[in-house]
């Protein structure tokens, strides 16, 4: 039995109206524990718990206070605006502060019920902890004529329950707006550690501006204070299953109530219709909520998904916070939603993240201008830094190849070759000698072409030259073992430096040929035989010879430098001729010594690389076993790298007119491309799920690029940032070299990649294969940063440790002196900033731009034979930066048309 609030007569527990006076027992504003509910509008909320009633309430249809009454010498009553089981609400004027407020009076029974009075005071205490525009503000608590009241913000509007009964449901756009505001208010309460426990449409006010405000914290409680019977307090129709059965109340219980409210908001229907609590419990346990689209077809699927997740029976399956719910709604940020839930966002979610990427026109224009200015400065200082601008590279490879072929003919090898190969390479012997011995002569001596820095090599053979270890013929691959094979080395001006020929394997002739005249070979080397003295031969020729000779003298260009000529003949035909400088070493006999600093750098780098590979194998296996990872993206990446690597290597390969030779080239090409693609696939599968879990922002532009969104502003922004950072890397590296050159103990300068000088096909090969290298160079630092983070659990600490390690490796490998070390630290900073601040795409683009700007043979002399290589690199660099700047605008105009009008 229970008691009628109007006539105080006893009535059955499950009655919805008093049989004596007809008073309704339904009041949506009243919470309870397991109380009956009306069949028409089931909110299961009788006015007051019967176990706490000490005497009947005296509320009837009339208001307690008349209009104009002044209470507590401060509040003037304007009108009664609401009445329910938990009290009356009046609109009043605060005479002291001259503002309109709401006064909420509780039944007079509260004054005689210490527990209810404590709850009333608790509402004030808790409500004042929550401050948000979507929450009704509570000002103070007072007492007049023995009645306790609450002064609060007056909201001129109507509650959501009344509004929904009046109009059915809200339009989709307005419903989304209200939903986000309710989520924001509930999140503010949860952030203060407050559980509302009675969230329902009747406790959401829609003010005169159409904004939602959460009210009535009468059952709110600080989560740490919740215990005992308090778990079961609330309005059953809006309780979560665990709250309804008295198990527990958590933030996710409020999320369930939020889902019920959103369900009504978008459909105008309630999730469950039940006549009493027991039936409601049965519905929760045995049935599944009908999807919102069953009522309203046009509801956004994303809205439906969010609501149904809120209504999961298992609290662990619900969103973890109201912020996550708001973020997952259409127009929200699903990425933030997933992170707030402690979940790993999907690759599609990362690509669809709402992170803005469009740059302001001024920023995009300034960034592009900075890139172009930096590029111009690099071009202006080329002559002081790059070796290829200091040595006389006046003759093209084709011209030098023709001269080398003519020399071979003059030396008696007149048979037409079946195949030939040629190219440029670097001789590092003088570099090492000068650094170790502090030679009295400066580096300016290389401007004559001797001592050797760049040199040109040429080979010809009576059979096809089929490389054994790669797709390209080099000076030593294939080995010179066929009779009639010859090779020539020329300095940049075309002077002979070395000649080698293979004598016949079978030679039955017994005639003694006349003695050889070495003068022509000396002349081709630019040397005068009269200035050389004969001496004992010391160097063995690379092939069989029946006579050896040697001379000592001086360089023609540098009379202060002694040189040695070693030569050999077979039956008076030259098979060996070489100009040897003091720094030339017998490399087939002596092992090249490596400095302790370089060894230390190798040890650190190899330790890091082996750690990355081992971690990649372990993490990739785990991700595959758990079904995690962007497998589609990994396959796209692997296929792209495989395709461009095969294309580049086939372009640069030295093809041969034999089936076995071509199959060998194809085998090596495919094997290498598969290895690179597989390594990147493995690294990506190992890395991507964890980065997506912890730092998905670093993958947004990358995943959008993989999805083909080439015009996405964020993609453009990160490409532009990568271009700037990559060119900054080049500028810092060149600045360090320039500082060394200005120092007394400075080095020779930067040597551009000689393969790019050898031919345009080799340049294209390096260009296409650089994609895989750049992607690896972007993935590896990100992976390393992630591993440090997983170990340290602090992102900034991981970045600092990574910077220290990268700086150390940079200095050990590339700093010629401690004067240039700060520039290596700048390089490390740029690398860490690219990975840490912008993400994977920026890191990859930075490495790609560095490759295009640092080892390429750039020049400002457009008349020189390798200018086309330089123009190719400059075109790609400027096009890449311009693309990034244009796309980053997101359709904005740098110049408004009004500026062009008179």
Catalytic residue IDs: 198
What does the angle CA 368 – CA 374 – CA 378 come to, to the nearest 5 degrees? 145
Element (H, E) at 40: none
Cα separation values, 383 from 447, 751, 778, 814, Å:
11, 12, 30, 20
Q: Cα(138)–Cα(852) distance, rounded to whole angstroms?
A: 64
Which 8-state DSSP code applies to residue 416?
A: P
Q: Cα(302)–Cα(352) distance, rounded to whole angstroms?
A: 13
Burial (0-12, 13-18, 19+ Cβ within 10 Å), 561: middle
Q: Cα(458)–Cα(496) distance, rounded to whole angstroms?
A: 11
| Cβ neighbours around 129 below 10 Å, total | 16
Backbone angles phi, psi at 550, to 5 degrees: -155, 150
Core vs surface per residue 526-548: b (16+ CB within 10 A) or e: bbebeebeeeebebebbbebeeb
Cα separation values, 901 from 365, 455, 896, Å:
21, 59, 9
DSSP 816-847: SSTTSHHHHHHHHHHHHHIIIII-HHHHHHHH
Q: Cα(7)–Cα(448) distance, rounded to whole angstroms?
A: 117
22 — alpha (psi -120 to 50), left (phi > 0) or beta?
left
Q: How far apart are the first and last CA of the chain?
A: 87
Q: Cα(851)–Cα(872) distance, rounded to whole angstroms?
A: 13
Q: Cα(28)–Cα(201) distance, rounded to whole angstroms?
A: 9
SS3 110: helix
Alpha helices in 412-547 (DSSP H): 429-437, 519-524
E-assigned strands of 486-617? 486-490, 496-501, 533-535, 547-554, 562-570, 573-580
* Largest Cα span, the chain: 144
Q: What is the CA radius of gyration of the chain?
A: 42
List the one residue out of 125, 131, 130, 89 whose CA is nearest residue 106.
89
- Beta strands 75-84 and 70-71 are antiparallel
Backbone angles phi, psi at 213, to 5 degrees: -135, 125
Q: Cα(558)–Cα(578) distance, rounded to whole angstroms?
A: 18
Cα separation values, 490 from 423, 452, 494, 698, Å:
11, 9, 5, 50
CB 332 within 8 A of CB 354: yes
Cα separation values, 310 from 189, 326, 694, Å:
18, 12, 24
List the one residue out of 857, 832, 854, 851 whose CA is nearest residue 843.
832
E-assigned strands of 175-328? 194-195, 204-207, 212-214, 221-222
72 — alpha (psi -120 to 50), left (phi > 0) or beta?
left
Q: Cα(375)–Cα(378) distance, rounded to whole angstroms?
A: 5
Residues 6+ apart with CB under 8 A from 774: 844, 845, 847, 848, 851
Cross-strand pairs, 148:
143
CB 651 within 8 A of CB 707: no
């Amino acid at each position: 039995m229970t008691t009628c609030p109007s006539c105080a007569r006893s009535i059955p527990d499950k009655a919805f109206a008093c049989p004596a006076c007809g008073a309704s027992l339904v009041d949506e504003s009243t919470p309870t524990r397991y109380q009956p509910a009306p069949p028409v509008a089931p909110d299961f909320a009788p006015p007051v718990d019967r176990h706490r009633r000490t005497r009947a309430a005296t509320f009837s249809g009339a208001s307690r206070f008349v209009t104009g009454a002044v209470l507590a010498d401060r509040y003037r009553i304007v009108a009664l605006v609401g009445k329910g089981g938990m009290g009356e609400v009046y609109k009043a004027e605060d005479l002291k502060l001259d503002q309109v407020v709401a006064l909420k009076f509780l039944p007079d029974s509260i004054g005689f019920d210490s527990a209810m009075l404590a709850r009333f005071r608790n509402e004030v205490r808790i409500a004042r902890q929550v401050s948000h525009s979507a929450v009704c503000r509570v000002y103070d608590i007072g007492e007049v004529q023995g009645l306790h009241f609450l002064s609060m913000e007056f909201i001129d509007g109507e509650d959501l329950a009344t509004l929904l009964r009046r109009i059915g449901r809200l339009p989709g756009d307005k419903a989304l707006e209200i939903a986000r505001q309710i989520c924001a208010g509930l999140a503010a309460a949860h952030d203060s550690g407050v559980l509302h426990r009675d969230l329902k449409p009747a406790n959401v006010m829609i003010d005169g501006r159409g904004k939602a405000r959460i009210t009535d914290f009468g059952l709110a409680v600080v989560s740490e204070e919740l215990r005992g019977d308090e778990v079961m307090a609330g309005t059953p129709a809006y309780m979560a299953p665990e709250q309804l059965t008295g198990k527990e109340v958590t933030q996710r219980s409020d999320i369930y109530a939020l889902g019920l409210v959103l369900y009504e908001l978008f459909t105008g229907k309630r999730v469950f219709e039940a006549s009493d609590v027991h039936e409601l419990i049965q519905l929760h346990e045995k049935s599944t909520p009908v999807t919102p689209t069953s009522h309203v077809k046009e509801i956004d699927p994303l809205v439906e998904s969010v609501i149904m997740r809120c209504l999961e029976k298992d609290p662990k399956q619900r969103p973890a916070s109201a912020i996550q719910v708001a973020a997952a709604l259409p127009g929200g940020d699903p990425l933030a939603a997933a992170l707030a839930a402690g979940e790993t966002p999907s690759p599609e979610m990362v690509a669809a993240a709402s992170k803005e990427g469009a740059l302001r026109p001024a920023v995009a224009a300034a960034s592009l201008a900075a890139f172009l200015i930096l590029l111009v400065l690099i071009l202006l200082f080329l002559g002081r830094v790059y070796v290829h601008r200091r040595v006389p590279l006046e003759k093209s490879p084709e011209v030098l190849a023709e001269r080398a072929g003519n020399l071979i003919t003059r030396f008696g090898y007149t048979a037409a070759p079946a195949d030939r190969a040629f190219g440029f390479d670097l001789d590092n012997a003088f570099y090492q000698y000068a650094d170790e011995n502090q030679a009295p002569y400066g580096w300016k001596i290389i401007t004559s072409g001797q001592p050797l820095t760049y040199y040109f090599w040429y080979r010809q053979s009576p059979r096809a030259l089929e490389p054994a270890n790669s797709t390209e013929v080099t000076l030593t691959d294939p080995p010179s073992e066929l009779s009639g094979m010859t090779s020539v080395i020329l300095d940049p001006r075309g002077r002979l430096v070395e000649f080698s020929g293979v004598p016949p394997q079978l030679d039955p002739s017994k005639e003694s040929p006349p003695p050889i005249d070495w003068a022509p070979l000396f002349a081709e080397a630019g040397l005068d035989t009269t200035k050389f003295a004969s001496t004992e031969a010391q160097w063995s020729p690379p092939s069989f010879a029946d006579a050896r000779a040697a001379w000592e003298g001086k360089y023609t260009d540098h009379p202060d430098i002694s040189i040695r000529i070693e030569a050999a003949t077979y039956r008076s035909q030259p098979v060996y001729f070489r100009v040897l400088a003091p720094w030339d070493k017998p490399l087939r006999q002596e092992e090249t010594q490596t400095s302790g600093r370089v060894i230390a750098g190798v040890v650190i780098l190899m330790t890091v690389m082996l750690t990355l590979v081992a971690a990649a194998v372990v993490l990739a296996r785990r991700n595959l076993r758990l079904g995690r990872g962007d497998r589609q993206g990994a396959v796209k990446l692997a296929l792209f790298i495989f395709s461009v690597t095969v294309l580049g290597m086939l372009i640069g390969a030295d093809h041969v007119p034999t089936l076995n030779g071509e199959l060998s080239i194809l085998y090596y090409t495919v094997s290498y491309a598969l290895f690179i693609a597989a390594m990147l696939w493995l690294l990506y599968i190992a890395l991507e799920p964890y980065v997506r879990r912890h730092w998905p922002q670093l993958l947004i532009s990358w995943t959008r690029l993989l999805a083909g969104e080439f015009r996405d502003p964020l993609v453009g922004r990160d490409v532009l940032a990568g271009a700037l950072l990559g060119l900054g890397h080049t500028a810092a590296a060149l600045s360090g070299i320039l500082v060394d050159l200005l120092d007394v103990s400075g080095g020779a300068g930067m040597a551009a990649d000689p393969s790019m000088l050898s031919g345009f096909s080799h340049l294209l090969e390096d260009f296409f294969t650089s994609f895989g290298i750049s992607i690896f160079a972007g993935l590896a630092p990100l992976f390393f940063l992630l591993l440090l983070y997983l170990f340290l659990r602090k992102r900034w600490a991981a970045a600092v440790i990574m910077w220290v390690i990268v700086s150390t490796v940079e200095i050990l490998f590339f700093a010629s002196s401690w004067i240039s070390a700060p520039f290596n630290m700048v390089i490390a900073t740029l690398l860490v900033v690219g990975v840490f601040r912008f993400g994977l795409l920026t890191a990859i683009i930075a490495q790609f731009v560095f490759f295009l700007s640092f080892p390429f043979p750039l020049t400002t002399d457009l008349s020189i034979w390798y200018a086309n290589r330089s123009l190719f690199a400059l075109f790609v660099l400027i096009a890449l930066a311009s693309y990034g700047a244009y796309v980053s605008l997101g359709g904005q105009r740098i110049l408004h048309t009004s500026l062009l009008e008179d």
